[in-house]
Amino acid sequence: GKRLKATGFRRVVHKREDFFKRVNDRVFVNSVDVVVDNPPYTGKGMKERVLKALVKADVPFCLLLPLGVLHGAMVRETLDRRHVQCLIPRRCWVSKRGGAEVPFKYLVWLCYKLDLDRDLVLMPDT
């Protein structure tokens, strides 16, 4: 949330709340322009649950996910391919709570209904 605000976004919601409750709250969803998130990867079926909830709520999103999700049937079955776009970072810096940041490769910003200028963007190092 702090990083988004620092780049100029004015309305940022970044709270520890139950995502699935919020995405089903129509008043809240109608106030959201886009969801930008790094959802948990490790929970069984969590990526699929998050994607399906966002599609059902008809919320545009940009999610940082392992690059391999693009090969999976789940993404192809869940998303309308006409609205899928990808930003591929050269590397991302990740850290565990309290740990030092380290480079992490093979991630993708999976974008949906964002109407970006291009469908695939290979992002620079900076």
Read off the pLDDT of residues 97-106 as tens digits, 9 standing for 90 and up.
777 776 677 8
Q: For the chain, give the DSSP string.
A: -HHHHHTT-S--------HHHHHT-HHHHHT-S-EEE---SSSTTHHHHHHHHHHHHT--EEEEEEGGGGGSHHHHHHS-GGGEEEEE-S-EEE--TTSPPEEE-SEEEEEES---S-SEEE----
Model pLDDT, residue 66: 87
What's residue 99's pLDDT? 75
Please give the pLDDT value at position 100: 77
Output 78 or 9, whichever has higher pLDDT: 78
Q: Which two tokens stand for residue 40?
A: 């948990």
The answer to whether 69 touches 110, Cβ cutoff 8 Å, is: yes
What's the pLDDT at 103?
Answer: 63
Residue in this structure with the two tokens 């790094």, named with its chain if needed: 38
Q: What is the pLDDT of residues 15-39, one digit of tens each?
A: 888 999 999 999 999 999 999 998 8
